[in-house]
Structure 1
Amino acid sequence: MMELHDILVGMSKSLGLFYLIALSIGVVVYAYWPGNRKRFNSAAEQVVAEGEDKPCP
């Protein structure tokens, strides 16, 4: 039973590492994809509209 546990722990550590690397690459590709530029620019402009750059009272 311990051998099965050790095998499963080893597999989950290896596959988890590759899963996180693939997820990170996917997020970076999504963020820098040229088609998303308009969406990100409009979101950035909506955060602070012109004339609203003062702190809240």
Structure 2
Amino acid sequence: MDKYSLLREIADSWVLLAMFIFFLGVIVWAFRPGSRKVHQDTASIPFRNEDRPGVSKAEERQS
């Protein structure tokens, strides 16, 4: 068996399996129970300074 065929066989089976497991890991990590607050906070970034542009969260807490 030549080197190309061996590497092609490995890529078609084990690398595909590894990529699929990595994909499932990313999905599980993104939808883990504790990530809801982080995702909601990130999603609200464009609307944070809608009333007063340029005011940070720390300055909002002080007022």
Asked if TM exceeds 0.5, the reply is yes
Q: Do residues 29 (structure 1) and 8 (structure 2) align?
A: no
TM-score (norm 1): 0.68
* Aligned-partner residue type, residue 30 of structure 1: W
Q: How far apart are the structure 2 equivalents of 1:36 and 1:50?
A: 23
1:46 has 2:45 as partner: yes
- Listed as ranges, the gaps of 5+ residues in structure 2 are 52-63
Moved over 3 A (4+): none
Identity of aligned residues (%): 25
The number of aligned residues is 51
CA–CA separation in structure 1 for the residues paired with 2:4 and 2:50: 61
Root-mean-square deviation over aligned CA pairs: 1.9
Q: Answer with 1 or 2: which has the greater Rg.
A: 2
Q: Deviations 1:9-37 (Å, cap 9, x if unpaired)?
A: 10122122112211110111011101111
**Structure 1 unaligned regions, length at least 5:** 53-57
Give the drift of 1:50.
Answer: 6.3
